[in-house]
Structure 1
Amino acid sequence: MVKKIYLIRHGQTYFNVRGIVQGSGVDAPLNETGHQQATQFHASYGHMPFARVYTSTLMRTHQSVQPFLDAGLPQEQHRALDEISWGHREGTRITPEEDIEYHGLLRAWQRGETHLALRGGESPEQVAARQRPFIDEVLRGRPDEDTILVCMHGRAMRVLLCQLLNYPLSAMDLFEHRNLCLYRVHYTGSMFSIRSFLDTQHLG
């Protein structure tokens, strides 16, 4: 049996538009555009036989799948799906000085130094470690859960995709993301494969 995972990033927030760093410590709501994106996604995929929706513990993922919840789809929240913690940068506007720090960290991650983190934040390796029990749970699955919806966050989604596809964490940035984008991933019992990459057709 093929397990089908529909993996989406949350819709747009005011923090996204204003260039303010959001991590696991910032529980920002969707803005008007984000709610519209959630409606558009449901209009395109509301017919899918999702057995369950898995979200992070943060409000922006719950609101992104609210139309599915309103229709009665069961939900489970998992801290494993929360965004990476950006530590002292969370809730701050991006400045040129901080961009130097941030982009320096990204380059270090691309070199394979994925144990590094911003002060007070998480490293990709720490995010990967908290995601692994969730991955195991999904793979064990319930007998009737062959199609599921997962809503999470950009950087954490990149980490998750690396783990599912056996990519090194240094390759995270290969997996681009936008608000309410879709990655469709199939698991055949031995390996994962991507069937849709950065799909935003449902947003018009």
Structure 2
Amino acid sequence: MGTVILVRHGRTTANTSGVLAGRTAGVRLDETGRRQASRTAERLAVVPLVAVVTSPLERCRQTTKFIVDAHADRPPTLVERGITECDYGEWQGRRLAELSKEKLWSVVQTQPSAAVFPGGESLAAMQARSVAAIRRHDAAFEAEFGPGVVWAAVSHGDIIKSILADALGMHLDLFQRISINPASVSIVRYGTDRPDVVATNTDSGDLSWLRAPAPEADAAVGGGAGPGMPAESGS
């Protein structure tokens, strides 16, 4: 089974100003976001990544550069439009405090599957194209490198939430129950029978266990012993 590490971009100037950036050009990481991206890059430096797939938006490209530059193998970067930010249409560039007064806001919160942004896309369409992109890349990497392949995808909060909801078998209407912080790491393994959600929204912790072979596809009854640690160097 292939393993994808889902990384949200670091904090941006739009995040701190309370503006829905969407696909607005020129939205960059702020100082905190750069520190967050650097910290995440350090966590991923020990992971044998075969590639980093990124949203085309600048904040994701910046985060990706931190990851690649910190990695001794400098894995190749692939740009994937399928995991770009949701097209929020007329909502893009507006303040969240203002948008929260719109009738659509409550739909987004309680029934996302019915939410269609004026002049933009629906959350259901967003989920469909992002999940399709992730599964397509995972299958291609596994076919090329084998079932133990590990790769990273750098994307956006709502995109990652929708991918995790699909992997968890959750209806899209429940995806607001998932939190994805800036520069957080979530991990999904796509097995033959079902996805295995290994971690969600982590911002610290050792990831060197991802160097060990992936476990069997069947779920361990009772929970199992957890991931095996890679052998010590020289042992």
Q: Tell me the TM-score normalized by structure 2.
A: 0.77
**Contact conserved, 2:4 with 2:138, CA < 8 A, in 1?**
no
Aligned to 1:93: 95
- Tell me by how many angstroms 1:144 deviates: 1.2
Structure 2 residue 81 is the aligned partner of structure 1 residue 79: yes
Alignment of 1:172-183 (within 5 A): 172-183=175-186
Cα distance in 2, alignment partners of residues 27 and 58 from structure 1: 8
Higher RCO, Cα 8 Å, sep 6+ = 1
| Identical-pair percentage | 22
* Residues 1:8 and 1:132: Cα distance change in structure 2 (over 3 Å): closer
Give 3-state SS (helix, strand or coil) of 1:68's partner: helix
Cα distance in 2, alignment partners of residues 132 and 195 from structure 1: 17
Q: How many residues align?
A: 197
Structure 2 residue 158 is the aligned partner of structure 1 residue 155: yes
Aligned to 2:59: 60
**Contact conserved, 2:9 with 2:154, CA < 8 A, in 1?**
yes
Structure 2 residue 199 is the aligned partner of structure 1 residue 196: yes
Alignment of 1:40-59 (within 5 A): 40-59=39-58
Give 3-state SS (helix, strand or coil) of 1:161's partner: helix
Cα distance in 1, alignment partners of residues 43 and 138 from structure 2: 26
* Residues 1:103 and 1:115: Cα distance change in structure 2 (over 3 Å): closer
Unpaired runs of 5+ residues, structure 2, are 206-235
Cα distance in 1, alignment partners of residues 14 and 76 from structure 2: 28
CA RMSD of aligned residues (A): 1.9
**Contact conserved, 2:9 with 2:182, CA < 8 A, in 1?**
yes
Residues 6-57 of structure 1 deviation map (CA, whole Å, 9 limit, x = unaligned): 1111100010001011213444111111111111111122111000001111
Residues 45-72 of structure 1 deviation map (CA, whole Å, 9 limit, x = unaligned): 2111000001111011111121233342
Aligned to 1:169: 172
Cα distance in 2, alignment partners of residues 24 and 33 from structure 1: 21
Q: Tell me the TM-score normalized by structure 1.
A: 0.88
Give 3-state SS (helix, strand or coil) of 2:50's partner: coil
**Contact conserved, 1:57 with 1:79, CA < 8 A, in 2?**
yes
Cα distance in 2, alignment partners of residues 40 and 7 from structure 1: 15
